[in-house]
Amino acid sequence: MNGSRMILAAVAIVVTMLLTMITPLAWVGLLIVGFSLYQTSQKRKGRRMFLRKPGWLITVGILGIILGGCAAPSDQVDKAATTEKDDKEVDQKAKEDKQAVEEKKAKEEEDTAANEKAEAEKEQQELADTFGLEEVLVSRVVDGDTVELKDGRKVRFIGVNTPESTTRTEEYGKEASNYTTEKLEGKTVWLQKDVSETDRYNRSLRLIWLEIPKDDMDEEEIRTKMFNADLVLNGYAEPSTYNPDVKYSDYFVKFAREARENGTGLWAYGENGTTKGDLDAKEEKKTTTTSNSSSSASTEEPAAAQEQEYYQNCTELRKVYPDGVPSDHPAYARKHDRDKDDWACER
């Protein structure tokens, strides 16, 4: 019996020691139980005691231990809950701070991009103003060297001539027209005037820039950004210079020679290409003379008596007369005047 009590006492001591690690109240209960056990031991030995009935004190001590043990978990749970809440608040604040930083960075990048775009647009507009460029939208391609704009104006390209592909057809004319359609129709381009405003058909005479150049006389920019030059370089047009619009004529002739040497485009059909241009061989105009039987001197016939000139087609005629001929000209033929306006092979 005494052994069982001692075991129970030992277990109680261990348990209470564990509990005392959590709360001070359990410490007090442990001390009371310990003192009560000591008094019980003294009573059994017949020694002097401070308490006559220490049993009730043991009960008080055990109650104190139990109450202290029960109170401890509640305190820990509250502390743990508080800690978890604090951790969540810290994490949430960290996330909010990170998001704020990212949003600020994104806003700064957006503002920077907007400023750079505005600066670039300003620079482009300044260059356009410097070179007299007009931004327009091409609505329709008439043929390889003529387009119609959204505002209804027709524009004839300066300094170049593509083979005919409308009322009459020349070799490589359809290819040139299709190329211009692919490159320009529905696109925004920039027009540049040389000297003349319009031709006799009231078409605006212009150079066509696909992009605004930084230097409009730089050869590399002319090659890569000007459509008139692009037509010549790729063999879709021959250079065709008419005063006073000669600003880029030397470049166009140079580019045409490159294309001819490589047999590019219309130059594959021969050294004169397929339409009238600056590189065509020069032909002397035909004149006739008559002999005077009474004199060895010869005189040129009057213009009215000039012999009729014959050309197989407009391509041949334009080699001699680039702008065509009127009805009173010796080279005029009704078959070349398809629009019946008394002017044959006009441009």
Q: Domain residues of the chain, as ranges?
A: 2-95, 132-269, 289-344
Q: Under a CB-based contact definition with an 8 Å cutoff, are residues 233 and 160 in contact?
A: no
Q: Report which residue type is found at 7.
A: I
Please indicate, yes or no, whether the overall pTM of this predicted structure exceeds 0.85. Answer: no
132-269, CATH topology level: OB fold (Dihydrolipoamide Acetyltransferase, E2P) (2.40.50)
- The pLDDT of residue 302: 36
Q: What is the pLDDT of residue 328?
A: 78
pLDDT tens for 161-192 read: 999 988 788 999 999 999 999 999 999 999 99
How high is the pLDDT of residue 296?
A: 37
pLDDT score recorded for residue 285: 36
Residue 32: phi, psi to the nearest 5? Answer: -65, -45
Name the pairing type of β-strands 154-157 and 204-209. parallel
What residue type is 260 in one-letter code?
A: R
3-state secondary structure of 190: strand
Low-confidence ranges of the chain (pLDDT < 70): 1-30, 33-39, 42-58, 60-61, 64-81, 282-308
**DSSP alpha helix (H) spans, 45-54:** none
